[in-house]
Amino acid sequence: MYKKLFIISAPFIMLAGCTMMDFDDAPVVIPTEPLLTLPEIDAGEVAPLAKADDIEVEVIEDDTVTATEEGSVSENTLYFDYDSAEVNYDPTDIVGMFSKVMLSNTDATIRLEGHADERGSRAYNLALGERRAQTVKDLMMLRDIEGDRISVISYGEEQPVATSHDEDSWQQNRRVEFILE
């Protein structure tokens, strides 16, 4: 009987003890030094984002922008890992190539079309496609392309380039396409 009474009353006794503490008299410590300090870095130590120096850019009479190189701008697709909007290392540096084209032709605009594979809900894939395109836009803006020259749209899973239900097809559908306008 006493054991049951003790088990029932113990939490109430502990709770009552906690309410008796007075926090108004507790000292407040405000740090005077920064919580995080960043090391000073010499500008010569910082690696460039990527290399795009070997690109020849030419503007054709009808204002169409093209570029030539081993990995050409005619290859206009950047692929992503599953459920990711992170841009992995790209040996052809497609973001750099399109950025260089945009820098050399100040009248050009670009549309970044984000896509996803069929896995996930329609709403989730639309959001994922937009995050992917926005990530690419942010990278281009880091390369001095004005944000108002870059539009972002997401098609989610609605425009697949491969319609099979296997990993190879899904990989082809996780992409951002660069469309010069």
Percent of the chain with pLDDT over 90: 53
Q: Which residue has the higher pLDDT, 69 or 127?
A: 127
In the predicted model, what is the mean pLDDT of residues 54-75? 44
How would residue 61 be classed by pLDDT, with cut points 50, 70 and 90?
Answer: very low
* Domain range summary for the chain, segments of one domain joined by +: 49-180
Closest CA to 79 of 158, 1, 170: 170
* Residue 121, pLDDT above cutoff 60: yes
CATH of 49-180, one of 3.30.565.10, 3.30.1330.60, 3.30.70.260, 3.30.9.10: 3.30.1330.60
Calculate the CA 15 to chain-centre distance: 47
User: Is-contact 116 88, C-beta < 8 A?
Assistant: no
Cβ-based neighbour number of residue 137 at 10 Å: 21
C-alpha dist (Å) from residue 114 to 96, 128, 169: 18, 8, 16
Task: Provide the pLDDT for residue 88.
Answer: 81
* pTM listed for this prediction: 0.60
Maximum average pLDDT range among 26-35, 46-55, 161-170: 161-170
Q: What distance in Å separates the CA atoms of residue 30 and residue 40, rounded to the nearest whole number?
A: 26
